[in-house]
Structures are given as C-alpha cells and as structure tokens.
Structure 1
C-alpha cells in the first residue's frame, strides 16, 4: 500500500481489488474471506468490500459445494485482451509454429515480468511433455533457459543486481543458486547465442532458449524449446535443437519494428 503515500493519483481501492484477484492461484483455487484478507495483506473489512465488488462485476463467485470464493471465467478477459493485442505474439506465431514442427518439441515464447518469465505463446506437439506450462504461467529467470537468455542481453552489473535481489530457491537437486554460477551460464549464452537449463526447474525437463531483441538490441522476449530428458540428452539438444531455436529467435527479431 506504500505507493499511495507518495502519489496522490494512486487508487488504493483498485490496488486492493487486484490484490484479491492475485490471491487466487494454483495452490489456492478457493478461499474463505479470512484467507483472502491474509493472502492479500488487508483487513477482513477491506477484503469483504473488494470481494463483494468483484463478485458483483462477475470476476469472483462462490463454489457451489464448498461456498468458498473462487475466480470466474470472466477473469480470463483481462489477460486475453493483452495477448490478443500484442504485436510480438502475432509476429512470432508463424516462426514458433515452424520451430515446433521442425523440432518435434513444444515451442514457447516468454516475456520478462520482474524477475520472472511469463509464457505468452506456445505451440504444443503430439509428443509427451513431463510438465504442463500453459500460457500465463510464470517461471523464475535464474534457473530457466529463457530467463538466462533474456539476462544475457543485459550488462553483468545489472544481471548481478537482479539476481542478488531475487530469492534463488533450489527447485530440484540440479538447480544452480549461486550468482556466480548463473552468471557463467549467462556469459556462455552471449558467446554461443543460446542458454540452457537441465532439470533445474522440473525433473525430466530441459530448456534451450535464445533472446528476441528489438531494433535497438534490447531483449523483448525469449524463444525456447522444452525437450524432455526421456527423449534427449543435453548434448543432443544443444547440437540439434539449439540452431533451430537461434534461427527462430533471429527471425522474430527481424520481423519486429520496435
């Protein structure tokens, strides 16, 4: 709630409403009013007013059996409008499709949000994948190929600052959490044009990613494939898939004019 103290135009009620919406996630699909208040960091009275408003507008409802609050399908409109109007997604569409077809693996486009990467487009194949990563899902930069690819376009000092300000939890026994170790992977991406991750976020899952840059050379997204360890070794993925990922990222970069 701190921005309201310094900004007379800041709407605290709107902030509270958005905090309520963000309280619901995969770990908390339904919530009581008290749980909403706790997760959103507000009083129960504020939570009640925000929930009632969102319920009246059709964004929140009650589960028919448990009578706990849950998000309603209307919430999807908020995210879909962003995706539908995004010029990068339209530009990347044919190249991602081609990448998925030529590689036989799921091809994704992610965008940076804070210290995470968010899936904004994805092409699935008929091949089995060990982990579902739908559009809208957030993954941390520090232990993912797409995050490292995006970080590779930044100066070392900025990368180090971002990593130092980010919790770096060991998601698996293979997760790199040392800032220096992650920086080595970022530097390697600058040299070879792609970044990797092998079972650092999910067991059985790898990533090969390359940055998408605009005309000023600034990263705007990252392209990545998700080859599972059941079908690929990291060396095979680097040899056969990395060139495809790099070319896809470069093609998208050439196609955008901002």
Structure 2
C-alpha cells in the first residue's frame, strides 16, 4: 500500500482493520476465536469483537455455535467474483489461455501483480495428472516464479531493482536462486528472450515458463505462465516448445488489450 495514502486524513482505519480480519482467515487459520483473530491481526480483543460482530451481521463471517470459533462465510466470494466479472483483461485473455491449454494440454494461467506477489486471476487446468493446483486468488512471489519474473521484465530496470530489494527472498526449494543480482540478470535475460523461466525454484517437479502482458502504454500489467511437470517435459522441450507458445499467447492477449 502507498504509505502516503495511509497518512492521509481521509484514510479510514476501521475499514483497514475490517479487511485485515477477513484476510487473516485462510488454509492455516480456517477457524479462529476472538483472541486468535485479535492476535493475528494485531488489534485489541474489544476491537476484534466489534469488527467480527459487524462482519457476522453482514454475512461475511459465521460462528460455530459449539466451538464459538469464527470462519469465513461464502458471501466473501462475492467480492472476488465481482472483480473477475468486471476485469476486462481476464475477458480478453480467456480465449487465448484456453487455446494454449488445448494445444499443450498443460495448466495455463494468468496472474496479476499484488505487492511483491503475483495473484492467480484465471487458469485452465491440464487434463493430465498435476502435481499441485493453485486456486484463483492464490499468490506466489515474484522473485522465484516464471510469472513474477516475466512481469518484472516488463518494468523499468530501476523498478525491478526496487521490487527485488523489498522482496523477502528465502529458499522455497533447494533450487531457489537467492542472489538478487543473479535474479535481476535472469529477469533481463527473460526480457531479451521474450519469456522467463523457473525450473523447480518454487515447487519441486515444476518447470515453468511465463511471458508478460502489456497495456497500451507498454507497461506490463500481468503475466501468462504454463506449468510443465518434469515427469513429462525436459528443460530443452520446455524452452523449445512451451517458451515460444507462452510468448505468442501473451502477445495475443496484449494485442487484444490494446484493441479495447
């Protein structure tokens, strides 16, 4: 978030806290007590009580009558669904993502930047067995993923360096590159090649390639990437076949976006 906006007298901290409570729930925190919510969000118990009461009254959280713990209610899905329904980029991308998925029969996805991460906004899943599935709304870091590096490749170099400096770089697998300067070089290599790569840096067994989608101003706004399981693809096959395909797919989406 822009710190200048947070410092504005127009900034509403109550709304911020309410959204933080909703964001606190997830796979690791499916059910939480008031105390756990307060601790996770970093607010007082009385503040958590007022916020949770309001969210429950509005239908966004529900309380188990036996455990008295809270969980997200399905009404929260309205917000995400409204975003997807109103996003013209997703509408423009879906036909091309579907076509690439049919051509390579691997999972093809569209991600958009969110802070230092990329968030899944569209995905066409392979019909073959897959190692892992990322749901719409899932996030992954920019620094060690093909989609993230592809997006970074579409930015000015000073901005790339700034985002890499701010990234919490840590080993997610034994192959994760932890050297910021080396990652920066990989981003620039991906820019020259037209697609970026990530071979088992984020998930063991996954060889990924991604390419940036640009807006009318020539700035990257998203990335297309495909997951190629190492059990079905070699590195050379990924570079020789899937790389050009993902580059072409991203280019077609870019043209569609610019035509609107």
Provide the C-alpha distance between the structure 1 equivalents of 2:206 and 2:66, rounded to a whole number of angstroms: 37
Q: Which moved more, 1:109-118 or 1:23-32?
A: 23-32
Q: Structure 1: any 5+ residue segments left out of the alignment?
A: none
1-side partners of 2:160 and 2:4: how far apart? 26
Q: Which residue of 2 aligns with 1:88?
A: 89
Q: Which aligned pairs between 1:143-182 and structure 2 lie closer than 5 A?
A: 143-182=144-183
List alignment gaps of at least 5 residues for structure 2. none
In the alignment, what sits opposite 2:56? 55
Deviations 1:181-217 (A, max 9, x none): 1112101111110000011111111211000001211
Structure 2 CA distance, aligned partners of 1:64 and 1:93?
Answer: 42
Residue aligning to 1:137: 138
TM-score, scaled relative to structure 2 = 0.95
Displacement of 1:3: 7.2
Report the alpha carbon displacement of residue 9 of structure 1 after superposing the two structures with TM.
Answer: 1.7
Contact 1:4 1:11 in 2 (8 A): no
1:102-117 to 2 correspondences below 5 Å: 102-117=103-118
In the superposition, relative to structure 1, how do residues 3 and 46 fare at CA in structure 2: closer, same or farther (>3 Å)? farther
What does 1:1-258 align with in structure 2 at a 5 Å threshold?
6-63=7-64, 66-257=67-258
Residue 65 of structure 1: how far off its partner (Å): 5.2
In 1, Cα distance between equivalents of 2:157 and 2:30? 39
Residue 209 of structure 1: SS of its match in structure 2? strand
Structure-2 change in CA distance of 1:47 and 1:213 (3 Å): same
* CA-based RMSD: 1.5
For the residue of structure 1 that corresponds to 2:212, the secondary structure is: strand
Indicate the larger mover: 157-166 or 113-122. 157-166
Q: Residues 65 and 196 of structure 1: is their aligned pair in 2 closer, same or farther, counting only changes over 3 Å?
A: farther
Following the alignment from structure 1 to structure 2, what is the Cα–Cα distance between the partners of residues 138 and 52? 29
Question: Does the aligned pair in 2 maintain the 1:61–1:69 contact within 8 Å?
Answer: yes
Deviations 1:115-140 (A, max 9, x none): 10000000112111101111100100
Query: In 2, distance between residues paired with 1:223 and 1:229?
Result: 19
Question: Structure 1: how far apart are the matches of 2:171 and 2:68?
Answer: 36
CA distance in 2, matches of 1:43, 1:242: 50
Secondary structure in structure 2 of the residue aligned to 1:45 = helix
Query: If the length of structure 1 is used for normalisation, what is the TM-score?
Result: 0.96
Shift of 1:64: 5.4
Alpha-carbon distance change, 123 to 226 in structure 1, aligned in 2, over 3 angstroms: same
User: What is the CA–CA distance in structure 2 between the aligned matches of 1:228 and 1:63, rounded to whole Å?
Assistant: 40
Secondary structure at the residue paired with 2:225? strand
Instruction: State the number of aligned residues.
Output: 257
Q: Please give the secondary structure, in 1, of the residue aligned with 2:248.
A: helix
